[in-house]
Structure 1
Amino acid sequence: MLTDKKINQLTPKETQYKVADRDGLYLLVYPTGKKTFKFNYRYNNRQETLTIGSYGEITLAQARQELMQARSLLAQGISPARKKQTEARQSKDDTFGAWLERYVADAKVADSTAKMRQYAIQNHLAPALSKLQLSEITDNDVRRLADKLVAEKAPSTALLCRMLIKNVFRYASTHGGPKLRSPTEDVPPSTIHVNAPKTRALAPKEIGYLLNAMDRTSCDLLSISAVKLALYTLLRKLEVIHATWQEIDWDEKVWRIPKERMKTKRPHNVYLSNQAYDILVCLRTLSTSKSDFIFPAKYGLNKPLAASTPNRLIETCRKIMSQAGIQFNSCTLHDFRRTGSTILNENGYNSDWIEASLSHVASGIRAVYNVADYAKQRRKMLQDWADMVDSYKEKYKLPE
């Protein structure tokens, strides 16, 4: 029978050898010096081996206790080795990262939404939770991640991560995984961030103040250009920051966005104003990278600019305006689209031209018959819009 003293005196040989303990337990000594407790038994007329653990990681007393549990399982007609393998496999499969991958693979969302989710997953959610078992994740983990993102001025990303965590727990529960209460239940969205109603449209003076504040920032040219281009073109945020150089038709002054990148799943042409075209010419001229993206990430040319960057720039401008005594409520790039639509409608432009420029899809009978692109009209309208924007900047200066 083994004792700790006897085990410590065992020395490795050229080949592995066994030293018996009791009740079928034995120690296998490897040429490397590793000593592992094992148990051989017969199950359904075949021999199986249960690896209990290595000496040093478990004690002799613990090995004997594991042996008794294994014998108890055998008495119940259960294979101890197969049960251990199943539990190990389930333990690996029940990590948050494993269920997150399965959930994302099954989720049916638009490409733009998928890209937005993937950014949040790769940069925030996976590093924080992927290696944890679902059963290990608590409301404190959710709260810690949310607080970190809010502190980084990314409250919408914090809400997105909370939603993904909730969805993963629900997905696991209905797809053969552990049926656990989601830790997000104790972290209501309202305790993370309350989004303002999506009715924000900037007044002309706000556009002017914002552009002039932008000139006072120390932000990089890419970030500033992305925000200005979104304002001139009235495109959605991801449609701008995921843009590639091959989409630009320099001869026709048209930005041709393929359907795969559009929320509507329809290709979209942007008839570039002189101002928007000039921004692209400037970026192309000054670009020293070999990235396909017009707005590449600061670190990693195969990735686009972070989705949170433009809104952080706007927040910086808001603080500059506040210091200058100008009250400016927070806004996002998406508010530019509502702003452009509002001002252009107020100035009497045809609503069909406006809706086409915003890549809004008509419904019903109107959608069937109205397939016009209005290229000529939209080109003039977007040029007029860019000129309006510039006039607001000229008219509404920030106090010194």
Structure 2
Amino acid sequence: MPADVWKPKHAADVRHSLESEVYPTLGERPLDQISAADVLELLTSIQDRGATEAAHRIRSRLSSIFQTAMVSEIIKADPAASLSKALKPIVKRKHPALLDLRSVRDCLLKVESEPGFPAVKLASRLLALTGARPGMIRFVEHHEFEDLDGPSPIWRVPAEKMKLEREESEQAAFEFVLPLSRQAVETIRAVRQMTGNRKYVFASASKSHLPISENALSSAYRRSGFAGRHVPHEWRSSFSTIMNERAMDLDRPGDRAIIDLMLAHQPEGVEAHYNRAAYMPRRRQLAQEWSDMLLEGVPHPETLLIGPRR
């Protein structure tokens, strides 16, 4: 697909993956001097660190570059075209999730206690507090947060950053507004002490004009011992399961639909085009309930700027 029809988020993601994975080894080489063996060596090095899906994704992106060069008659063949079978297959599996409050709190504390880049730990905390998708957290910009010093702080996610079809994502009506709890605001304020003058809230440590890498959060969870137990995306499942069970226990059946709204789920049927800001007062109450339960006894986010004690 031509880059000019990509969503900005996807274009930035492709650019970042090439800058971090490809350019350091192949970036200065003329295309007609890059062999299949060169590409395979690069892909194998990515795969060997446990990033099989990333290796396949890089192969596909390189193949698109080579095919474009073939059309322009710069090269005669695509050296990445047949390398997919040389890589390990991608194993599709259901992502794990922790589904009780004690386990998810322990997970959050463990990730935050390990040595690591503070912005990644703060990104993990905001992910847990909001139930947002990891890509939304990764690419969030400072201007998306509003009224942080007022009574009704929100995160206004632009339509193009939402996981929607292209036709919908270009319509302002499909932006998504998340109410922010007190703890979410504290987390944002903490990370702004590091990245307030940069484009992205969770900026990369090595390349300040870029967000944290695509695998930063997943790697932090693996290092903390949660491989096969909990992945960053599944904070959404944790939030949904725990809050829906709470709604049943407290005889609040009406909360179930509002919890779906909080996760930006698209309803089935003719009501697909709905007001994503609906029920904001109740959504704000539920966001605060979740934050109070999840972070009970958890240190203030500013402690993450210092790092763990040795």
> Retained in 1: the 8 A contact 2:177–2:276?
no
Cα offset, 1:145, TM superposition: 1.4
Match of 1:378 in 2: 283
Aligned match for 1:313, one of 196, 220, 229: 220
Q: 1 or 2 for the larger relative contact order (CA 8 Å, sep ≥6)?
A: 2
In the TM superposition, what are the counterparts of 1:270-289 in structure 2 within 5 Å?
270-284=178-192, 286-287=193-194
Change (3 A) 1:115 1:198: farther
1:133 maps to which residue? Answer: 31
Amino acid across the alignment from 1:380? Q
| Residues 318-346 of structure 1 deviation map (CA, whole Å, 9 limit, x = unaligned) | 1xx7xxxxxx6254321222332233333
Equivalent residues in 2 for 1:112-191 (5 A)?
A: 112-130=9-27, 131-134=29-32, 136-138=34-36, 140-171=37-68, 180=77, 182-188=79-85, 191=87
Distance, in Å, in 1 between the alignment partners of 2:113 and 2:153 is: 30
Q: TM-score, normalised by structure 2?
A: 0.76
What's the CA shift for 1:302?
2.4
Measured in 2, the distance between the counterparts of 1:300 and 1:179 equals 35
The answer as to 2:262 corresponding to 1:357 is yes
Shift of 1:275: 1.7
1:310 & 1:260 partners in 2: Cα distance? 22
> 1:117, CA displacement in angstroms?
1.2
Give distance in 2, aligned partners of 1:112 and 1:307: 12
Partner of residue 262, structure 1: 162
Structure 2 Cα separation of the partners of residues 361 and 272 of structure 1: 21
Percent of aligned pairs with the same residue?
21
SS at match of 1:163: helix
Consecutive unaligned residues of structure 2, counting only runs of 5 or more, are 248-252, 300-310
Q: Name the structure 2 match of 1:57.
A: none
Secondary structure at the residue paired with 2:177?
strand
Question: CA RMSD for the aligned pairs?
Answer: 3.1
Shift of 1:379: 1.0
In structure 2, the residue corresponding to 1:183 is in which secondary structure? coil
Quote the offset at 1:237 in angstroms. Answer: 1.5
1:347 alignment partner, SS class: helix
Whether the aligned pair in 1 keeps the contact of 2:3 and 2:11 (CA below 8 Å) is no
Give TM-score scaled by structure 1 length.
0.61
Change (3 A) 1:170 1:392: farther
Distance in 2 (CA, whole Å) between partners of 1:380 and 1:343 is: 15
CA distance in 2, matches of 1:241, 1:375: 24
Count of residues in Structure 1 that have an aligned counterpart in Structure 2: 280
Which residues in structure 2 correspond to 1:320-339 (within 5 Å)? Answer: 329=228, 331-339=230-238
Q: Distance in 2 between matches of 1:371 and 1:278?
A: 24
Structure 1: stretches of 5+ with no match in the other structure: 1-102, 322-327, 395-400
The residue type equivalent to 1:258 in the other structure is P
Contact 1:142 1:184 in 2 (8 A): no
1:6-49 CA-partner distances (Å, limit 9, x unpaired): xxxxxxxxxxxxxxxxxxxxxxxxxxxxxxxxxxxxxxxxxxxx
The one-letter amino acid of 1:309's match is: A
Bigger shift: residues 245-254 or 360-369: 360-369
SS of equivalent residue, structure 1 residue 301:
coil
Q: 1:194 aligns with which of 72, 87, 90?
A: 90
Change (3 A) 1:299 1:151: same
Q: Compare the two structures and name the one with the higher strand fraction.
A: 1
Q: Please name the residue that 2:307 is paired with.
A: none
Distance 1:128 1:104, change over 3 A: farther
1:125 deviates by 2.5
Paired AA for residue 260 in structure 1: E
Structure 2 contact 97–231 (Cα < 8 Å) conserved: no
Find the partner of 2:293 among 385, 388, 391. 388
